[in-house]
Amino acid sequence: MVCLEAVYHRTFGSMAYYKNNSTVKLLIRTRKNDFSLVECEYYDKYDYKVPHSKITMTLSGQDKFFSYYTAEIVPPYKRLCYFFRLHCNKKEYVYKQFGFTNNIHDGDFQLPYINPCDVYNIPDWLKNGVFYQIFPDGFSNFGQKNVLPESYEGGTLKGIIKHLDYLKNLGITAIYLNPIFPSTTYHRYDVIDYFNIDPLLGTKQDFKQLVSSCHKAGIKVVLDAVFNHTSSNNPMFLDVLKNGEKSQFANFYVINSYKNGKPYNYDRFAFENYMPKLNTSNVEVQKFLIDVVFYWIKEFDIDGWRFDVGNEIGHNLINQIRNEVKKVKQQAYLLGEVWHDAPTFLLGNEYDGVTNFTLKDLLFKFFKNEIDVKQFVDDYYTYYFGIPNPAIMASSNFLCNHDTARAASEITDENVLKQMIAVQFVMLGTPLIFYGEEIGMKHCPTQKGDKGARKLMEWDKTKNNPLLDYYKKLIKLKTTNKCLSNENVKLEIENNMLVVIRENKNHQVKLIVNNSNKNKTIKLNKNYKNYLTNQTYLENQKIVVNSHDLIILAD
- pLDDT, tens digit (0-9, with 9 covering 90-100), for 376-392: 999 999 999 999 999 99
- The helix (run of H) or strand (run of E) holding residue 551 is strand 549-554
pLDDT at 61 over 90: yes
Could you tell me the pLDDT band of residue 182, with boundaries at 50, 70 and 90? Answer: very high
- pLDDT, tens digit (0-9, with 9 covering 90-100), for 105-150: 789 999 999 999 899 999 999 999 999 999 999 999 999 999 999 9
Active site residue 5: no
pLDDT at 262 over 90: no
pLDDT at 448 over 90: no
How much is the mean pLDDT over the chain? 96
pLDDT at 417 over 90: yes
Which residue out of 39, 198, 337, 350 is catalytically annotated? Answer: 337
- pLDDT, tens digit (0-9, with 9 covering 90-100), for 268-321: 999 999 999 999 999 999 999 999 999 999 999 999 999 999 999 999 999 999
Could you tell me the pLDDT band of residue 104, with boundaries at 50, 70 and 90? Answer: confident
Q: What are phi and psi of 215, to 5 degrees?
A: -65, -40
Residue 216 CB burial class (10 angstroms; 0-12, 13-18, ≥19): exposed
Could you tell me the pLDDT band of residue 260, with boundaries at 50, 70 and 90? Answer: confident
Active site residue 193: no
Which residue out of 308, 352, 378, 437 is catalytically annotated? Answer: 308
Q: Specify the pLDDT at position 50.
A: 87
Q: Which ranges in 459-535 belong to alpha helices (H)?
A: 466-480
For residue 489, give every residue at least 6 positions away whose Cβ sits within 8 Å of its Cβ, in sequence order, or none. Answer: 384, 427, 428, 500, 501, 502
pLDDT at 447 over 90: no
Whole-prediction pTM value? 0.96
Nearest 5°: the CA angle 318, 323, 125 is 90
How far is 43 from 414, CA to CA, in rounded Å? 55
Beta bridge partners of 134: 177
Q: Specify the pLDDT at position 552.
A: 98
